[in-house]
């Protein structure tokens, strides 16, 4: 069987791929060697800007299967029939480190899911924690700057990390999650995923519900201690990537069960705390988990760069029956995520195979730009409305409208009767076993004791005291002991 002929990018056959053209034997290279120049120029351009956050990631394809009837809450087509399956792509990631960082580190994990539905792609962008460090997107660049590498030292600095948290009391809940036993997942397969934000579902009658997503791992939650994480990160920086790849190749397909919490829209205004605050969870006794379906990953990407690095998730990719809520962090991300992809991948990134719809076809009037592949016939018009059978609007909104009132301005979020920054962090601490509390205190003290400013330490200690007196006392004593050594 004859082999295919190696060609240049323009399709011309390559005569010699081992030796560059020279001016005589041993002479200098020739500018006319098009194959050499093309290879070097392409090599110089093989890397694109990495994501500012969630740079280090892994992914896989699979399907989502509906197991329970939720048509009373949403008219989303991919959720309308028990047994219906929808193809998906899921990207896991660490948040703070660079593309070459290790997997087994103490960091939140991204859990970004793309549903290739018959009504377009639906992107659900979340984490492995149900809460986050901040609740207003205007603080997001500052937060990430504080967690990334310092511009002078070139490494993550405890002074910066804890200084930001000292000035962000709302972060106490997420800090308690991050420094607890689930802060370093044993693998991507052994952690839960959450939509984290509050979203909106709308049923066929127009009734609106606010919704939170919970993907519970069917492999069981498994995590690493700080010592185990450091050892594994040193032995195999790609540990989570390796585990996911090999499990699927062996046919041990990881799965999660999707549950949701549903709040009738009318109840949001009078709920005891702001239900759109990303630093808080909804207690299950108020809004119990309701099962929806099963997520299964069963196919690895063929090319990590093309399908994982170029995968683009945008929370503004909704489908009929699903929409946004007044969650301020979500509102900011509706713009920021898509804008990041236009910068990294270009305005036509939605035409890449991993991002393009699979169960339907995109019809719109977007044209041109770098790497455009949606060329239309010469009779196609790129304006709307037109008289030439171009795609037309439906007149049917994807979700119910959100009520607004008042004056424009830079308002703080409205206070509900029991809003505060510390209560839920204390509740989480009090749920922990004695051993879990000891490890949490040790993890916090290990970082906080390295901070150089006493004022920053005192501000953070005040947050833990406010969450729970025992919590604060134990962290304070542990920090003092470490600083006296």
The catalytic residue positions are 54, 127
Instruction: Tell me the C-alpha distance between 316 and 325, whole Å.
Output: 11
* Owner of token pair 């959100």: 402
What single DSSP character describes residue 309?
I
Cβ neighbours for 9, distance < 8 A, ≥ 6 positions apart: 38, 42
Burial of 442 (0-12, 13-18, 19+ CB in 10 A): middle
* Owner of token pair 């193809």: 87
Instruction: Tell me the C-alpha distance between 466 and 472, whole Å.
Output: 7
CA dist list (Å): 381 to 314, 349, 393: 28, 22, 15
Cβ neighbours for 418, distance < 8 A, ≥ 6 positions apart: 272, 273
CA dist list (Å): 70 to 34, 115, 235, 339: 60, 17, 45, 33
**How many residues in total does the chain contain?**
485
Instruction: Tell me the C-alpha distance between 233 and 231, whole Å.
Output: 6
Beta bridge partners of 210: 200, 263
Triad 459, 460, 466: Cα angle to 5°? 90
Beta bridge partners of 322: 201
HSE (side-chain half, CA atoms, 13 Å) at 23? 6
Burial of 322 (0-12, 13-18, 19+ CB in 10 A): buried
CA 262 vs. chain centroid, Å, equals 22
Contact status, residue 248 vs residue 301, Cβ threshold 8 Å: no
Cβ neighbours for 13, distance < 8 A, ≥ 6 positions apart: 5, 6, 7
* Owner of token pair 């994480």: 229
């Amino acid at each position: 069987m004859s082999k295919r002929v190696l060609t240049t990018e323009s399709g011309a056959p390559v005569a010699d791929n081992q030796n560059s053209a020279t001016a005589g034997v041993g002479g200098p290279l020739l500018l006319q060697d098009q194959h050499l120049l093309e290879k070097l120029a392409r090599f110089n351009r093989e890397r694109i800007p990495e994501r500012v956050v969630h740079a280090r990631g892994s992914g896989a394809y699979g399907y989502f299967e509906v197991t329970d009837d939720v048509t009373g809450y949403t008219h989303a087509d991919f959720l309308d029939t028990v047994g219906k399956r929808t193809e998906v792509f899921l990207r896991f990631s660490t948040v703070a480190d660079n593309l070459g960082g290790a997997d087994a580190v103490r960091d939140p994990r991204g859990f970004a899911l793309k549903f290739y539905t018959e009504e377009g792609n639906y992107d659900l962008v979340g984490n492995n924690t149900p809460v986050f460090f901040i609740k207003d997107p205007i603080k997001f660049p500052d937060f990430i700057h504080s967690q990334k590498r310092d511009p002078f030292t070139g490494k993550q600095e405890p002074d910066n990390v804890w200084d930001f948290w000292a000035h962000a009391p709302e972060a106490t809940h997420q800090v308690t999650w991050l420094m607890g036993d689930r802060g370093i997942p044993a693998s991507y397969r052994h952690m839960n995923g959450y939509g984290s934000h509050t979203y909106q579902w709308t049923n066929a009658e127009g009734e609106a519900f606010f919704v939170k997503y919970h993907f519970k791992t069917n492999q069981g939650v498994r995590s690493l201690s700080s010592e185990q994480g450091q050892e594994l990160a040193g032995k195999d920086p790609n540990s989570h990537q390796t585990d996911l790849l090999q499990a699927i190749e062996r046919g041990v397909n990881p799965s999660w069960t999707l549950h949701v919490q549903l709040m009738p829209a009318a109840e949001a205004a009078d709920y005891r705390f702001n239900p759109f605050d990303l630093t808080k969870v909804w207690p299950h006794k108020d809004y119990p988990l309701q099962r929806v379906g099963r997520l299964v990953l069963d196919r690895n990407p063929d090319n990590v760069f093309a399908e994982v690095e170029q995968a683009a998730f945008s929370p503004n990719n909704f489908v009929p029956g699903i929409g946004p809520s007044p969650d301020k962090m979500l509102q900011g991300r509706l713009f920021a995520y898509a804008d990041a992809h236009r910068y990294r991948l270009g305005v036509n990134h939605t035409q890449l195979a991993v991002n393009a719809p699979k169960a339907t076809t995109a019809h719109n009037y977007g044209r041109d730009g770098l790497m455009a592949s949606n060329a239309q016939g010469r009779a196609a018009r790129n304006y709307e409305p037109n008289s030439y059978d171009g795609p037309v609007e439906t007149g049917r909104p994807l979700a119910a409208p959100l009520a607004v009132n008042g004056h424009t301005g830079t308002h703080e979020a409205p206070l509900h009767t029991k809003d505060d920054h510390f209560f839920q962090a204390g509740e989480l601490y009090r749920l922990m076993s004695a051993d879990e509390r000891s490890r949490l205190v040790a993890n916090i003290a290990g970082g906080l004791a390295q901070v150089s400013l006493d004022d920053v330490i005192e501000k953070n200690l005040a947050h833990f005291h406010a969450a729970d007196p025992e919590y604060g006392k134990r962290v304070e004593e542990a920090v003092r002991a470490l600083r006296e050594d």
